[in-house]
Structure 1
Amino acid sequence: MKSILAYLLFFAVATANAQDRYQAAMKQQVSLLDSASTFNPASLNALSNTFERIANAEQTQWLPYYYAAYCLVNEAFMTQDKTKVDPISDKAALLAEKAVALKGEDSELSCLLSLIAVSRIAVDPMTRGARFGTESAELLEKAKTQNPENPRVYLLQGQNLMFTPEAFGGSKSKGKELLNVALQKFTAFKPESDIAPRWGEVYTKELLKMP
């Protein structure tokens, strides 16, 4: 009996230590997303690789896959060579689906998948705009039903309206209305943890400054 109790105690301590190491590693990497110097293709790619290594080591945590995909989709938006966008977006989608497999349907993941859809439009806006614009919009509506208090839903809806030509349903004024809703939601929003998604408030304010 004593040996069983000793084993259970050892297992509990080891599990707690592993969780502490995971939280510390994630917190360190997530904090890099607060730095403007991180937002260039090379740094985002490197950070995505780090998150993916954490994900592969943990195997049961969805957030490392989420952040690995988030870094890649931002890399896709910044990539000048359009022939490289689809491979980057494809990998981001694969990582996002791994997060969905672990977490299940979730507002943050629907927002991420919406971003990935938008990243594909820049390759050829004339032929891809309708398809991926519709996919992005549907994912954001899904994200809203999953969590109507998620500010990133309204940020991304507002951004999409602002950067879509009026001939295709875009509207800067309606976009800014949604951005103001996002800003109100950010004020009340409380992330679930130190490493939960919290991005977007600063970017919302920058978009609202645009003419």
Structure 2
Amino acid sequence: MKTVILILVSFTVNMLTAQTHYDEGMKKAFELWESDKADEAANLFERIANAEDQHWLPYYYAAQINIIQTYRTKDAAAIEARLKKAQKFINHANLISKDNAELFILEAMLNTAYVVYNPSNYGMTHSPKVEALYQQAKSLDSMNPRAILNHAEWKMGSAKYFGTDPKQYCPEINKAIALFENIENKTPYYPTWGLNQVARIQKNCDE
């Protein structure tokens, strides 16, 4: 009986220690990101992911940073390398958390980055992927404000390209705002971004 108790105690202590290390690492990574040390943050998120392979969020943030950073360079090789790395992180995250709307949104963002970076090469092949990924995200979580907002921005960009009125998607932005104000998720480090992008996207409604 004592042996069983010791095993249980040891297991509990190890679990608590692992969670503490995970929390400390995640907090440090976010601090680096907020201090404009994006690549250092991405590297730390990747190390956390490799050490804590039951968590999908470190892979998520490592991928997200690499996607965002592609908009800050015009070096084609660097962009391609970042997007390929981000795709690997997303693939890992999908193995841990299946049918996750947040991961579909992130992969839509990745494919959008390909289209923005090189529309002549990727526009025809990746645009349908973006649309399909947002549809999948919304089918899994119809009240996800990031899915609604980012999908609206994507459709606005497509409308401009094809010469139609992007303002037809403005009600979706208003819907996303309302959802941002009411949504709550108690999972530590769960994505909360998006509301800070509303003003930029809403400019399409004022033009």
Q: TM-score, normalised by structure 2?
A: 0.89
Which residue identity lines up with residue 190 of structure 2 in the other structure? A
**CA distance in 2 between partners of 1:178 and 1:79 (Å):** 31
1:106 counterpart = 2:100? yes
Q: Which runs of 5+ in 2 are unaligned?
A: none
- What residue is the counterpart of 1:74 in the other structure? 68
1:106 and 1:143 in contact (8 A); partners too:
yes
2:131 aligns with one of 137, 149, 174: 137
**CA distance in 1 between partners of 2:95 and 2:17 (Å):** 26
% of aligned pairs identical? 27
- What residue is the counterpart of 1:118 in the other structure? 112
- Shift, 1:132, TM fit: 1.2
Q: TM-score, normalised by structure 1?
A: 0.88
- What residue is the counterpart of 1:89 in the other structure? 83
- Shift, 1:50, TM fit: 0.7
**CA distance in 2 between partners of 1:139 and 1:169 (Å):** 24
Q: Which runs of 5+ in 1 are unaligned?
A: none
- Shift, 1:158, TM fit: 1.6
Q: In terms of mean alpha carbon deviation, does 44-53 or 101-110 score higher?
A: 44-53
Q: In terms of mean alpha carbon deviation, does 95-104 or 44-53 score higher?
A: 44-53
**CA distance in 1 between partners of 2:164 and 2:79 (Å):** 24
- What residue is the counterpart of 1:149 in the other structure? 143
**CA distance in 1 between partners of 2:38 and 2:166 (Å):** 29
- What residue is the counterpart of 1:57 in the other structure? 51
- What residue is the counterpart of 1:194 in the other structure? 188
**CA distance in 2 between partners of 1:66 and 1:56 (Å):** 12
Deviations 1:75-119 (A, max 9, x none): 112222233212111110010010000111110000001001011
- Shift, 1:6, TM fit: 1.7
**CA distance in 2 between partners of 1:209 and 1:165 (Å):** 14
Query: Where has structure 1 moved over 6 Å in runs of 4 or more?
Result: none
Let me know the Cα RMSD of the aligned residues: 2.0
- Shift, 1:171, TM fit: 4.0
**CA distance in 2 between partners of 1:209 and 1:169 (Å):** 17
- What residue is the counterpart of 2:7 in the other structure? 7
Count of aligned residue pairs for this structure pair: 205
